[in-house]
Amino acid sequence: MKLTKDIVPGKSLGGIALQSPVDAVIEGLRSHHVLEVSDGIVSIDDGLVTIGYDERRTIYSVMCNSGFEGRYEGKLWAGMTVSEVLKNSTTQVAWGGAVVVDGIEGIGLPLPDGFDDFDQLTDHLPLDHVFEYLSVFLI
């Protein structure tokens, strides 16, 4: 299995599906990618993609960093700035520690530690702040 550029909110990122057994995904990726596996986390290709899994070894989130080439509908990607978020979306809300835009559930840009809520995205973050990660998660 090789990573893809596909991003599907609430479903998958890079071809890795949420709610899949992590062991099957690890086995599929092992021959094409460098994996680091620790308790609850699988890091692929030095953090390009990171998988979160639970005690049942089921995937609940997949996150990518700014080196990942995929974009969601040209609207969201890892490495975008606050300015780009505002330009590419109509609404922005804080939900579960991430910026969720235009009511699209199951995908977001993780907020920096200590910023879990805002009235406006620019309340605490400058326009040039870079969201290094993008996360796809269960709704």
Q: What are 1-25's pLDDT values in tens digits?
A: 889 999 999 999 999 999 999 999 9
User: What tokens does 71 get?
Assistant: 């974009």
In this structure, the answer to whether residues 104 and 61 fall within a common structural domain is no
Q: What's the sign of the alpha-carbon dihedral 94, 41, 38, 31?
A: negative
Backbone torsions φ then ψ of 4, nearest 5 degrees: -110, 175
User: pLDDT tens digit string along 86-117?
Assistant: 999 999 998 888 999 999 999 999 998 877 77
Domain final position from 65, 89, 114: 65
User: pLDDT tens digit string along 30-44?
Assistant: 999 999 999 999 999
In this structure, the answer to whether residues 61 and 84 fall within a common structural domain is no
Nearest-CA neighbor of 99 among 51, 67, 84, 19?
84
Residue 100 lies in a domain: yes
Range(s) of the domain holding residue 126: 80-131
In this structure, the answer to whether residues 14 and 43 fall within a common structural domain is yes
Q: Rounded mean pLDDT of 45-57?
A: 97
The domain tally of the chain equals: 2
Residue 85 lies in a domain: yes
The pLDDT score that the predictor gives to residue 1 is 83
Task: Please check whether residue 64 is in contact with residue 42, taking contact to mean a CB–CB distance below 8 angstroms.
Answer: no
Residue 138 lies in a domain: no
The pLDDT score that the predictor gives to residue 123 is 80
In this structure, the answer to whether residues 89 and 47 fall within a common structural domain is no
Residue that has been written with the tokens 């910026």 in this structure: 99
Residue 49 lies in a domain: yes
